[in-house]
Chains A and B, each alone.
Chain A
Amino acid sequence: MIQFEGVTKTYQSGKQEIHALNGIDLTVETGEIFGVIGFSGAGKSSLIRTVNLLERPSSGHVLIDGKDISTLSAREIRKTRKDIGMIFQHFNLLNSKTVFHNVAMPLILANTPKNKIKEQVKELLDFVGLSDQATKYPDQLSGGQKQRIGIARALATNPSVLLCDEATSALDPQTTQSILELLRRINREYNITILLITHEMGVIREICDKVAVLEAGKVIEQGTVFDVFTNPQQQTTQRFVRSVMNDELPESLLKQIQNPSRKNSIYRIQFTGTSVGQPLMSRISRKYQLDLNVLFGNITELQGAPYGNLIVEFTGPAEEIKKALADIREGNVNVEEVLNYAS
């Protein structure tokens, strides 16, 4: 478990003070994939780097499994770092060394016997799917392959935490997908806690369990990925969510909703799972003798499950509509009236 308690970071740049982090409180539970998203300069790198003390907090504490790491001696810090793997946006591999040597590096530093290194590196390269590239040099590999090497290297010391600093930001969408899948496998198979930072909401949607939104060195919103995606509170969060959810209503529909002389009620219905949406609509319609007019709908994938978003116009007796809404809420379905869909 990683806990941030009132963490601040102030950089001195000439005479100017830059407040990169302004009191961060966050808890990353063991075994989860926690994502931190924010625009450039929000303080994401500063935040993730306080976990392995590449950056020392100016105030506040970072606790790893309850232990405040800033109180450790240099030697203890090095020991702790061996339990925290890290991968980087630009991979940071040694260009003068082979793939094998790069992955072996953490083991060499720990004075592991040669035959044991050989065995372990082979295993790691197998795991990331690059066992045939051991004798190559990093500049002979693609970006995705380099990141796999970075991942293999980070796993060499059997860490319990993996830090990912924009690990997929230098990769194309397809390669990003495959790296994210690999990260998920690491999380599931080895139960390694992953803290990742990114500016791409797609990454968060793809693999994170929880997300925190960082803005100007503050956490402005956090929660499970589902909650944050389906019900973003802050404007910045809404912008991020919209960047991948594509749930913006068409102009004509907005006009219709905002028309002051509109008589019928319009509701937004949010549901998860494929089997929920369509059958629900027809069942409700039949049961309460209502006219349901789906004005807009889309389905996106969220944490591996489909997530649907319908804008529906209800026509019928008010009493029946009320009953119908109560019925809908029975299931794991969220309904709210859309009075003024502000976008």
Chain B
Amino acid sequence: MLVDNEQILEALWETLYMTGVAFLFSLIIGFILGLLLVVTRKGHLLENEPVSKVLNVIINIFRSVPFIILMVAIIPLTRIIVGTSIGTAAAIVPLVFYAGPYIARLIENSLLEVDEGVIEAAQAMGASPFQIVFRFLIPEALSSLVLALTIAIVGLIGASAMAGAIGGGGLGDLAITYGYQRFDTLVMVVTVAILVVLVQGVQSGGNLLSRRVRRR
């Protein structure tokens, strides 16, 4: 094997770091956008057609650009935000642009699953829009939200593997540089195995948490 354990551990750490930080930021952005997508819909709490239309267009644009292209396309922006366009921190920026809109859609979907009757009951008891969102909509959708976000994390782990293209490091980078370009099958197998375990772990954790929060 062309790499030692330390290199693998470091790559694993880089993957976790990129995924974790990117997830946090995308969650914040995705949550706000997703919530706005729902409440500005026709007939919803804060119906607003212009806002709804603009949001939809923007999110669709980001969602239609493949990650590998997005990464290159926003390099100038990355440079403004983190000061450099190369490295792990630089890889987080495109990851957020990739996962934010994705999470927005996932959250929109989950929130729309909540029975309209529940919202109606909330309105009938005099709840404010803020109360409706945080006391009714989100608690009722929480279990489904957790599953949706689990999907997003898995997606982010996958996308972060491409971050090597801009020197982001991580397990994906390791697999490409050593496993693919230098024909070290063992490195390939090991990194893939770690990724598989990682994804399995995240999914099981998500499933468990989702079941836990279904009733509280």
A residues near B (Cβ < 8 Å) are 52, 54, 77-82, 84-86, 88, 90-98, 105-106, 108-109, 137, 153-154, 157, 163
A-B CB contact pairs (8 Å), 8 listed: A84-B124, A86-B124, A86-B125, A92-B121, A93-B118, A96-B215, A106-B125, A109-B127
Q: How far is the CB of A104 from chain B (nearest CB, A)?
A: 11
B120-174 CB contacts (< 8 Å) to partner A: 120-121, 123-128, 131, 135-136, 139-140, 142-143
When the two chains form the complex, which single residue of A81, A88, A108 contacts B117, counting CB atoms closer than 8 Å? A88
Q: How far is the CB of A13 from chain B (nearest CB, A)?
A: 12
The answer to whether A92 touches B117 (Cβ under 8 A) is: yes
Q: Which residues of B contact A94 (CB under 8 A)?
A: 118, 136, 139-140
A96 to B214, CA, bound (A): 6
The answer to whether A109 touches B115 (Cβ under 8 A) is: no
| Shortest beta-carbon contacts, A-B, top 5 | A92-B117, A81-B126, A92-B121, A86-B124, A78-B126
When the two chains form the complex, which single residue of B115, B127, B135, B139 contacts A92, counting CB atoms closer than 8 Å? B115
Q: Which residues of A contact B216 (CB under 8 A)?
A: 96-97
B residues near A (Cβ < 8 Å) are 115, 117-118, 120-121, 123-128, 131, 135-136, 139-140, 142-143, 213-216
The answer to whether B120 touches A79 (Cβ under 8 A) is: no
Q: Which residues of A contact B126 (CB under 8 A)?
A: 77-82, 106, 109, 157
Q: Which residues of A contact B120 (CB under 8 A)?
A: 54, 88, 92
The answer to whether A81 touches B215 (Cβ under 8 A) is: no
Q: How far is the CB of A98 from chain B (nearest CB, A)?
A: 8
A92 to B117, CA, bound (A): 5
Q: Which residues of A contact B123 (CB under 8 A)?
A: 52, 54, 81
The answer to whether A86 touches B140 (Cβ under 8 A) is: no
- Please give me the residue from chain A that is nearest to B131 by CB atom: A109
Q: Which residues of B contact A92 (CB under 8 A)?
A: 115, 117-118, 120-121
A85 to B126, CA, bound (A): 10
The answer to whether B125 touches A96 (Cβ under 8 A) is: no
Q: How far is the CB of A160 from chain B (nearest CB, A)?
A: 14
